Every structure is written in C-alpha cells, then in structure tokens.
Amino acid sequence: MGRVFVEQFKEFLGKIAGFLPNLLTSLVLFVAGLLIAWLIKSVIVRLAAFLKMDAVSERTGIVQVLQKGGIKEPVSRLAGRLIYWVVLISFIIMGLDALQMPAVENLLGTFLLYLPNVIVACAIIVSGYLLGNFLGRAVLIGAVNAGLPIAGLLGKFVKFTVFIMAVTMSLELLGIGKDTVIIGFAILFGGVVLALSIAFGLGGKDAAKDYIDRMLREKKEEDDIKHI
Amino acid sequence: MSVILREEVIQRLGEIGEADILVGIPSFNNADSIGHVVRAVQAGVAKYFPDKKAILINSDGGSGDGTREVVERVIIDDFQPLLINQRQDLLSKIVTPYHGIAGKGSAFRTVFQIAKELNVKACAVVDSDLRSITPEWIELLIRPVLERNFDFVAPYYLRHKYDGTITNSIVYPVTRALYGKRIRQPIGGDFGFSGKLAEFYLTRDVWDTDVARFGIDIWMTTTAVANNFKVCQSFLGAKIHSPKEPSSDLSAMLMQVVSALFNLMEEYPGQWKEVKSTSPVPLFGFQFSVGLEPVKVNIERMINMFKLGMTELGDLWKVILSTESLSGLQETAKTEPFSFGDDLWARVIYDYALAWHGKVMKGEHMLKTLTPLYLGKVASLVIEMADTTAGKVEERIEALCIAFEKLKPYLIDKWE
C-alpha cells in the first residue's frame, strides 16, 4: 500500500520535474515578450513621430474618426500600443504552447485559427467606416455643386450603405449568423431602395415634377458668364 | 542638351544655331483653330520684327486630329495684302510632341528648353484655340522684352464686365495683395517673357507637379513677380476662344485655379509676408472699350446654390472657416436683396488658404466646398454691377482688392 503511494508520488514528482522546464520556458517567454513588446513599442512611437504620423492622420481624417469613437489618444501612441499587444500576445501564445498541455494546445489551435478572421473583420469595419465617410463627403459636395436639393440625403445614403456593407462582410467572415446577415442586408437594402422609389414616385411625385421642371428650366437658362 | 527634347529636335536646333525671338504654341487636338494662330504669328513676326531671326514652336500633346500637320502646312505665301514687305527668310517652325505629364505646363517646359538651347532673347506663348489673335499680339508680347528690358509681359484683355469672375474675385485680388504687383489678369494664358526668365523657369523643380498639368499660367506670373523679375502688361483687345467642351465643370475649374494659387503661397511665404503695399504695373498698347452686349446670368440659381451650401455643407465649413466667417455667411444668407460683402469674401478666401496650409481636409474636397460660396459672391457682384459701365466695374474690383489688402495681416497672423 505504502509502496503504491510512494510510486504514485514519485510519478507525480517526475511529471512536475518534467513540467517545470516547460513552465520556466513559458515564464521566460512571457518576460521576454514584455521586454521586446515594450522595446518595439518605443521604436514604433519614435518612428511614427519622425514620419509625422499624427499630422498625416489628422489630414486624412483618421483622428476625427477616432475622436468620434471616443479615442482621444494620438495615432502614433495608438499604433505603438497596438503593436505592443500584438507582440505580447504572440509571446503569450508561444509561452502557452511551450507548456505542452493538450487542453491548452487545443484551445490555442482553435483561437489561432479564428484570430486572423477577427483581425481582418476589424480591418474591414474600420476601412468601411473611413471609406463610407470619404465617399459620403465626396457625394455630398458633388451633389451640392450640382444643385441637388437632396444632396444631404444622398451623402448619408452613400456613407451608411458603405458602412453597412462593411459590417455585413465582417459578420459573414466571422461566421456570425452567416445567411441571416446576408439575407437581412439584402432585404434591408432592397427595402430601402424600394421605399425610396415608392416615396419618390408616389408621395413625392409633385416634388419630383417640380424638381425636374426646375432642372429643365435652369438648363435652358444657363449662364453665359465665363468664369476664367 | 536636355533629355526632354527628341533627337530630331536637337538636330534641328543644331542647324538653326541661335534665334532672337521664339513663339510657342501648346496644342492638343486644335486642328480647326491653330492655323489662324500660326498665320497671326507669322504675320506678326514679319510685320514687326522683320530683321530678327524668329522661330515658331508647336509643343503638342499627341493630337490625333492632324494639328501638327496643319502647323507644318500653314504658311503665308504673299504678305502684300497685309501691307507687309516680303521677308527674305521664312519663319522657322519646329513641331514636336512634348515630354512628361500631359498638360499645358509640360508643353511650356519644352518651349522654355528650346528657348534656352537657342539662346533666345524674347519669347511669347499663345493659346492654340484663339480666334481673336492678331499680328499685333506678337508685337505687344515681344517688344517690351526686346526694347524695354522687361522680363515678363502679362496679357490685359478687353472683357465683358461679367467675364473672368474667378480672376476678378479671387486670383487678381489675392496675387495683388500677396505679391504687391497689380497684374490685372495673372492667369491670362498668353504671355511674353525674356530668355533669362525662360531659363529661370526651367531651374524650378515643378515639372512633376500640378504645374505641369494645369496652373502653369498663375505659376509663371507668380514666379516672375516673387523672384523680382521686371514685369509689365500689354493690352491685347478681346480674347475669344474656340467654344469649349460643355463638360468643363465649374467646381473642377475653381479647384484647379485656387489650388495652384494656394500651392504658390506655400512656396513663397517669405516673399509675400514681407509685401506691405501694392504698386501699379506698366501697361502697354492702345486701350479701347466697346459697348456691352447683354449676357445671360441666372442670379436666382447662383443664390440658390449658395443657400443649398449653407444648408448642407455647414459641418465641413466649420472645419475650414473661422467663426467670424461662418456668422458672416449666416447673415449674408438673410440679406435682401442678396449681398455678399467684400470683407467677408476676403476673410473666406484667406480662411481657405489657411485651411489648405493646415491641411485640415483632403484638398480636393475642401476646395470643391468653395463653389457655393463663390457663386454667392458672383451673384452679389452681378447684382451690384447690373447697371454699371466697364469703368465703374474696375472701380468695384479695386474696392474688392483693397478689402483683401486690408485683411492681409489676418492671413499673416494666422499662417503660423
């Protein structure tokens, strides 16, 4: 009885002894990850400052977008922080992998397979938001300069359509309610177009008539001014 | 020899050696109009500079309608009907496609390069779609350079009081206030200049920028003024072009002109900040005026565009304009009859220049939001000038220029 207990204890100690190097490796990787992530973050922040990333972001409208989302940090620091976490998470994953525990390995495998989708989905949403804003603004300005009274509506329509399309693509990529989202989007988009057509065709037929009349009249009454 | 000239052109220049006068004509698909321009140049050179060695350069953008063939073929055989004594040697012509980005600027670069290679004393450039060019234009653009030592001759056209509104309301007041020279038509398009200035133009590193595409006119004028070249103007009479494509969109045109103006502000801040007053520029030529023909102007449409901008572009203008300008615009929208003040307009334009300098938004978007404001100002000017004569119109433009000059300290103060 005592010998069985001793054998079991020895086996346990053997496993612990076998596991300790893995644990140590894992801890070393974690600490190294912390240091390297901090180092890379510092380099990125300085490089971003050298490349005037904050000024460029302000010019391209990225800062305004982030501010609307409640993020007030400079883009250079944000980029540094993002890189910090990517590097640190990579080291944590390596550290967990170094533990060589089957349950952790399985979990990691699943997580790692899904992670790229999450990153790409986030990138699509951010790009969709920026592109939506950009195109919406371009359409708004173009429509105002063309004298279209529905310029504001057109600008918003383009902006939200692009954003909703980006969200739909992201959700599809993540596999969340795959078919439901696509069908939902199609119904919503088709519905909006149909509703607008009906509203314009029936409800706003007089307004549409007035508008077309005015357009034709103004076409006839074009200026002879030479601007240049 | 430069890399921008083709081998056969270099060879031809070697044969010619040197020349006194060069006239450049940039072209792209102008077969229907360029013949008249070439004849006017030929007659002008024969009549006014019979003892000078002259050359005509057609710098073409790859026309597919036979423009280059027309230039090669057109010739005045008999000068007697023009009361001009026959020249011993005919005008030399070089017809060449230009190198680089498609645009008038690249075409001019080739002209400048040839002027340099031939050690030319005086040059002129004229548009290829001119219907109203006469031989006198060549004299008026060339003689101030050859005989009065001017380096740059800007054109002064006879125009309808409602024409040239971008020039009258933006380009002239801004260039005058900034650089201190009262050049009435800085973006005229037909210029005279010395060989020395042509060589100076070539040294500027702008040939891969928008200057090569559009904006060469304001660039030539500003470069001459900002670098203290001796400038003057010549009265050329009316400028009539071939009818333009209807697709020439106002907001794109405005964006091109204003972006060129603002880019030059970025290039010469040291010069324009130092200018404290303006001075007149000599004007040559026999001035005359003609009766004003009625011109169709849809003021209601312009005011409606301004009001639509007020409704829809407010959020974007908040990023571009100062609070004083925004409140001034709100007051303007309520005026009856409609009136857009000069002080407000000057502030609006300076705010746009500052926003361009600060790069607060994508440049194209920013400048296209100027269109409704510009139309508002044009509507206001047209209302004010409805019953005025050409002389009174000049007084009105003078008042507008003074508003820009008075507000210049605001621009300088905010620039940094």
CATH number of residue B44's parent domain: 3.90.550.10
At A210 the pLDDT is 67
Confirm whether B1 is domain-assigned.
no
For residue A128, give how far its alpha carbon lies from the nearest alpha carbon of chain B (Å): 18
Instruction: Among B217, B251, B284, identify where a domain stops.
Output: B284
What is the SS3 assignment for B58? strand
Q: Return the higher-pLDDT residue of B174 and A86.
A: B174
Domain count, chain B: 2
Instruction: Among B284, B310, B333, identify where a domain stops.
Output: B284
Statement to judge: residues B29 and B137 lie in one domain? yes
Instruction: Please report residues of B whose CB lies closer than 8 A to that of A130.
Output: none
Q: Is pLDDT at B207 greater than 80 in this prediction?
A: yes
The closest alpha carbon to B106, from B97, B115, B119, belongs to: B97
Statement to judge: residues B305 and B215 lie in one domain? no
At A12 the pLDDT is 84
What is the SS3 assignment for B94? strand
At B246 the pLDDT is 47
Q: Is pLDDT at B118 greater than 90 in this prediction?
A: yes
At B289 the pLDDT is 78
Question: pLDDT tens-digit profile of B278-320?
Answer: 999 999 999 887 765 677 788 999 999 999 999 999 999 999 9
Point out the least confidently predicted range of A198-207, B115-124, B192-201, B353-362: A198-207
For residue A86, give how far its alpha carbon lies from the nearest alpha carbon of chain B (Å): 31
Question: pLDDT tens-digit profile of B297-308?
Answer: 889 999 999 999
Report CB contact under 8 Å: B378, A61.
Answer: no
Instruction: Please report residues of A whose CB lies closer than 8 A to that of B369.
Output: 141, 144
User: In which domain, by residue range, is B329 found?
Assistant: 299-415
For residue B278, give how far its alpha carbon lies from the nearest alpha carbon of chain A (Å): 23
Chain A interface test: which of B157, B261, B298 (most A C-beta within 10 Å): B298
What's the whole-number average pLDDT of chain B?
A: 91
Statement to judge: residues B183 and B112 lie in one domain? yes
Mean pLDDT, range B337-364, rounded to an integer: 94
Q: Is pLDDT at B98 greater than 80 in this prediction?
A: yes
Instruction: Please report residues of B whose CB lies closer than 8 A to that of A137.
Output: 316, 365
CA distance A158 to A133: 9
Mean pLDDT, range B345-370, rounded to an integer: 94
Statement to judge: residues B249 and B325 lie in one domain? no
Statement to judge: residues B37 and B185 lie in one domain? yes
At B386 the pLDDT is 85
Statement to judge: residues B304 and B277 lie in one domain? no
Report CB contact under 8 Å: B316, A138.
Answer: no
B→A contacts (Cβ < 8 Å), by residue, are 159-160, 162-167, 187, 250-251, 253-254, 257, 295-298, 301-302, 304-305, 308-309, 311-313, 316, 359-362, 365, 368-369, 371-372, 378, 382
Alpha carbon separation from B337 to A214, B302, B303, B379 (Å, rounded): 22, 13, 11, 11
Statement to judge: residues B128 and B241 lie in one domain? yes
Instruction: Among B284, B314, B337, identify where a domain stops.
Output: B284
Query: Which band of pLDDT confidence, cut at 50, 70 and 90, is reported for residue B23?
Result: very high
| Percent of chain B scoring above 90 in pLDDT | 72
Report CB contact under 8 Å: A145, B251.
Answer: yes
The complex scores an ipTM of 0.85
Confirm whether B151 is domain-assigned.
yes
Statement to judge: residues B247 and B384 lie in one domain? no
Statement to judge: residues B311 and B226 lie in one domain? no
At B75 the pLDDT is 82
Confirm whether B292 is domain-assigned.
no
Chain A interface test: which of B127, B256, B313, B359 (most A C-beta within 10 Å): B313
Peptide bond into B26 cis (omega under 30): no
Point out the least confidently predicted range of B34-48, B66-80, B260-274: B66-80
Statement to judge: residues B411 and B316 lie in one domain? yes
Instruction: Please report residues of B whose CB lies closer than 8 A to that of A59.
Output: 359-362
Q: Is pLDDT at B72 greater than 80 in this prediction?
A: yes
CA distance A60 to B61: 34
For residue A49, give how far its alpha carbon lies from the nearest alpha carbon of chain B (Å): 18
Report CB contact under 8 Å: A224, B251.
Answer: no
Statement to judge: residues B212 and B359 lie in one domain? no
Q: Note whether A141 contacts B: Cβ–Cβ < 8 A.
A: yes
CA distance B182 to B377: 21
Statement to judge: residues B243 and B329 lie in one domain? no
Query: Which band of pLDDT confidence, cut at 50, 70 and 90, is reported for residue B247?
Result: very low
Q: Which two tokens stand for residue B16?
A: 């010619």
CA distance B116 to B109: 11
Q: What is the dihedral of CA B140, B141, B145, B147, to 10 degrees?
A: -20
Mean pLDDT, range B321-339, rounded to an integer: 95
Confirm whether B169 is domain-assigned.
yes
Question: pLDDT tens-digit profile of A190-216?
Answer: 877 777 777 766 666 666 666 666 666
Q: Which of A152, A224, A227 sits opposite B166 (nearest CB)?
A: A227
Report CB contact under 8 Å: B369, A141.
Answer: yes
Point out the least confidently predicted range of B74-78, B146-150, B253-257: B74-78
Q: Which of A142, A151, A225 sits opposite B308 (nearest CB)?
A: A151
At A135 the pLDDT is 93
CA distance B137 to B140: 5
Mean pLDDT, range B3-26, rounded to an integer: 90
Q: What is the pLDDT along chain A (228 residues), one digit of tens a residue?
A: 677 888 888 888 888 888 888 888 889 999 999 999 999 999 988 888 888 888 887 776 677 667 666 677 788 888 888 889 889 988 888 888 888 888 877 887 887 788 888 889 989 998 898 899 899 999 999 999 999 999 999 999 999 989 988 988 888 888 887 677 677 777 777 877 777 777 766 666 666 666 666 666 655 556 667 777
Confirm whether B290 is domain-assigned.
no
